């Protein structure tokens, strides 16, 4: 019997094929049953912290440009957009005006933007110049030693994390510039789902 | 995981590149198999091409419809290259609809056309696995096994590697065309059944399953149904003995 004849023989025989179907159903069903998640996993609780969609946003505390500090976990209850950027990065420059416009329009609805300057590969003076140039009104945090960039596994600038009111990352956008539509759609999605 | 490659100001999305390579390979294989099945390969190629184009356009328009006020304010955002503003399910449905209408208008016979698509689709599934590996998507459940990989702050099953291995196995099986005769649609059904079986098996190791009440993993239930329907159709489509020809 050749290799090609074997399955054909099975297909020709209705009883044999029906038996195969039943066997697949039973085995597949058993595997599905074995793979069920136990109740505690289903109930879940807070997801672990990791910089990707569906996980809790890793917490950080950073100093702000102009004084003061910001702690991400203290912003629970607001939709937070964390944007990692540098003053020398062209796409960061290109998308920042759209971020500022979105912030102005939606801050009263519960949006907060935290722009994290990757100061370890930029400079505080350059960051201050950038903020003045674009007239940014949201908090600008300084990642002086790269700890936050490292924790967020920064692979490219700009990188943006859309975080819901529970502190869960809902969307990650690496690279840019982001279109204004993308920025507003992602924010609106969060604001609508968790009012 | 290597999701992005920074080239100066440009951030190259490597998973996207893997998918593009998969589309290219799928088109090549489809064209080749269509010629082998004596179909009009240009029509088959165009059907896939326009299906893809319609899928992308449909996915973007569907997404924009959900946020109509946003896109009315900045309509140029419709042209943005970002894949995050696509609605995948709507895109797939639009693509299938357009490809189906095109195939019907060009009188492409259903079963031979499906068979022509089978090896290309199987190759594309391998590319999807590679894209998942690069992006870290479709990640595994935490594990203590020695081959666990550190991903998203835990040691996890390397489900993306399992996925590539299984997809390669499915591709090889489909490439060999072990069932029926060319053009009877069985090879396409084989692809669907094997892919469903692979997902049914693999889902047990995933850490991002959609879970239904009772702890059932949705993808496993759907996959099992897909496998059973494909197997049942195989016998239905199997040509009766008097119509069977030797290859």
Determine if residue B45 is left, alpha or beta; phi over 0 gives left, psi from -120 to 50 gives alpha, anything else beta.
alpha
In a domain, A53, yes or no: no
Q: Are residues A79 and A11 in the same domain?
A: no
* A93: closest chain B residue by CA: B9
* A38: closest chain B residue by CA: B215
Q: Are residues A146 and A188 in the same domain?
A: yes
CA neighbor of B117 nearest in space, from B142, B133, B95, B148: B95
Q: E strand or H helix at A190, and its extent? A: helix A180-193
**pLDDT score, position A38:** 80
Q: Are residues A25 and A105 in the same domain?
A: no
| Distance in angstroms (rounded) separating the CA atoms of residues B3 and B49 | 26
Q: Are residues A22 and A108 in the same domain?
A: no
Q: Is B204 on the interface with A (CB under 8 A)?
A: yes
- pLDDT band of B68, cuts 50, 70, 90: confident
Q: Is A77 on the interface with B (CB under 8 A)?
A: no
Q: Are residues A110 and A17 in the same domain?
A: no
**pTM metric for this prediction:** 0.85
Residues B215-229, mean pLDDT to the nearest whole number: 96
In a domain, A50, yes or no: no
Whether B162 contacts B205, CB under 8 Å? yes
Q: Two tokens at A192?
A: 């609508």
Best to test chain A binding among B224, B230, B243, B245 (most A CBs inside 10 Å): B224
Chain B: closest CA distance from residue A115 (Å): 19
Q: Two tokens at B190?
A: 């084989």
Q: Two tokens at B72?
A: 């009315």
| Distance in angstroms (rounded) separating the CA atoms of residues A181 and A187 | 10
| Distance in angstroms (rounded) separating the CA atoms of residues A155 and A138 | 24
Q: If you compute the radius of gyration of chain B from its CA atoms, what whole number of angstroms results?
A: 20
Q: Two tokens at B235?
A: 């016998």
Q: Please tell me whether the peptide bond between B39 and the residue prior to it is cis, using omega within 30 degrees of 0.
A: no
Give me the residue from B197, B214, B228 closest to A36, CB to CB.
B214
- pLDDT band of A195, cuts 50, 70, 90: low
Q: Are residues A28 and A95 in the same domain?
A: no
CA neighbor of B220 nearest in space, from A28, A191, A66: A28
Chain A: closest CA distance from residue B178 (Å): 5
Indicate the number of domains in chain A.
2
Q: Of the given ranges (A73-82, A92-101, B176-185, B221-230), which has the lowest mean pLDDT?
A: B176-185
Q: Are residues A80 and A137 in the same domain?
A: yes
What lies within 8 Å, CB to CB, of A185 at 6+ separation is B63, B66, B67, B70, B71, B85
- Answer yes or no: do B231 and A21 touch at CB < 8 A: yes
| Distance in angstroms (rounded) separating the CA atoms of residues B175 and B118 | 8
In a domain, A14, yes or no: yes
What are the beta bridge partners of residue A173? A160
Q: Residue A126 sits in a domain of what CATH number?
A: 3.40.30.10
In a domain, A49, yes or no: no
**Residue A174's CB: how many other CB atoms inside 10 A?**
19
Question: Does B224 score more than 90 pLDDT?
Answer: yes
| Distance in angstroms (rounded) separating the CA atoms of residues A144 and A46 | 30
Q: Is the dihedral of CA A38, A39, A42, A44 positive or negative?
A: negative
Show the domain range for A22: 5-34
* A58: closest chain B residue by CA: B153
Q: Give the pLDDT confidence of A125-170 residue by residue, as tens digits.
A: 999 999 999 999 999 999 999 999 999 999 889 999 999 999 999 9
| Distance in angstroms (rounded) separating the CA atoms of residues A62 and A77 | 19
Best to test chain B binding among A6, A35, A155 (most B CBs inside 10 Å): A35
DSSP code at position A154:
-
Residues B69-75, mean pLDDT to the nearest whole number: 84
**pLDDT score, position A2:** 47
- Answer yes or no: do A36 and B228 touch at CB < 8 A: no
**pLDDT score, position B44:** 95
Q: Is A28 on the interface with B (CB under 8 A)?
A: yes
> How many Cα atoms are found within 13 Å in the side-chain-facing hemisphere of B46?
12
- Answer yes or no: do B74 and A180 touch at CB < 8 A: yes
The Cα angle at residue B109 between residues B105 and B110, in degrees rounded to 5 = 100
Helix (H, G, I), strand (E, B) or coil at B207: coil
Q: Two tokens at B95?
A: 């693509």
Q: Give the pLDDT confidence of B91-139 residue by residue, as tens digits.
A: 999 999 999 999 999 999 999 999 999 999 999 999 999 999 998 899 9
Q: Is A175 on the interface with B (CB under 8 A)?
A: yes
Give me the residue from B71, B154, B197 closest to A181, CB to CB.
B71
Best to test chain A binding among B13, B84, B194, B213 (most A CBs inside 10 Å): B84
Q: Are residues A85 and A156 in the same domain?
A: yes
Residues A103-117, mean pLDDT to the nearest whole number: 95
Give me the residue from A28, A175, A181 closest to B224, CB to CB.
A28
Select the more confidently predicted residue: B2 or A44.
Answer: B2
Residues of chain B found within 8 Å of residue A155, distances taken between Cβ atoms = 3-4, 6, 11
% of chain A with per-residue pLDDT over 90: 72
Best to test chain A binding among B2, B63, B67 (most A CBs inside 10 Å): B67
| Distance in angstroms (rounded) separating the CA atoms of residues B240 and A14 | 12
In a domain, A156, yes or no: yes
**pLDDT score, position A69:** 96
Q: Of the given ranges (B1-10, B89-98, B159-168, B195-204), which has the lowest mean pLDDT?
A: B1-10
User: Token match 């390669």: residue?
Assistant: B168
Interface confidence, given as ipTM, is 0.86
């Amino acid at each position: 019997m050749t290799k090609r004849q074997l399955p054909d023989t099975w297909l020709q025989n209705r009883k044999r094929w029906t038996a195969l179907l039943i066997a697949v159903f039973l085995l597949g069903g058993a595997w599905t049953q074995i793979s069920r998640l136990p109740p505690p996993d289903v109930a879940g609780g807070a997801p672990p912290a990791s910089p990707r969609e569906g996980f809790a946003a890793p917490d950080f505390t950073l100093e702000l440009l102009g004084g003061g500090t910001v702690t991400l976990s203290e912003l629970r209850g607001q939709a937070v957009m964390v944007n990692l950027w540098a003053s020398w990065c062209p796409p960061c420059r290109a998308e920042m005006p759209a971020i500022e416009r979105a912030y102005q329009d939606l801050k009263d609805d519960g949006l907060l933007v935290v722009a994290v300057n990757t100061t370890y590969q930029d400079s505080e003076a350059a960051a201050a110049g950038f903020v003045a140039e674009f007239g940014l009104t949201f908090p600008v945090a300084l990642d002086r030693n790269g700890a936050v960039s490292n924790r967020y596994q920064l692979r490219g600038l700009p990188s943006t994390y859309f975080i819901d009111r529970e502190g869960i990352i809902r969307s990650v956008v690496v690279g840019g510039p982001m279109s204004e539509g993308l920025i507003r759609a992602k924010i609106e999605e969060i604001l609508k789902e968790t009012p | 995981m290597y999701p992005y490659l920074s080239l100066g100001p440009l951030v190259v999305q490597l998973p996207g590149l893997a998918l593009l390579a998969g589309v290219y390979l799928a088109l090549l294989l489809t064209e080749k198999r269509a010629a082998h099945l004596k179909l009009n390969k240009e029509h088959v190629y165009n059907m896939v091409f326009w299906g893809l184009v319609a899928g992308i356009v449909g996915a973007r328009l569907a997404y924009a419809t959900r946020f109509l006020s946003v896109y009315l304010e900045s309509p140029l955002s419709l042209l943005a290259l970002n894949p995050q503003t696509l609605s995948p399910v709507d895109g797939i449905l639009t693509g299938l609809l357009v490809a189906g209408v095109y195939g019907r208008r060009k009188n492409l016979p259903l079963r031979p056309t499906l068979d022509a698509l089978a090896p290309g689709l199987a190759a594309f599934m391998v590319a999807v696995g590679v894209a998942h590996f690069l992006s870290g998507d479709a990640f595994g459940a935490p594990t203590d096994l020695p081959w666990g990989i550190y991903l998203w702050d835990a040691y996890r099953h390397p489900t993306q590697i399992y996925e590539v291995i299984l997809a390669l196995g499915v591709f090889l099986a489909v490439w060999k065309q072990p069932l029926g005769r060319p053009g009877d649609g069985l090879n396409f059904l084989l692809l669907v059944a094997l892919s469903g079986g692979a997902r049914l098996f693999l889902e047990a190791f995933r850490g991002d399953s959609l879970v239904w009440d009772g702890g059932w993993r949705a993808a496993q239930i759907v996959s099992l149904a897909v496998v059973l329907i494909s197997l049942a159709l195989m016998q239905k489509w199997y040509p009766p003995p008097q119509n069977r020809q030797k290859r």
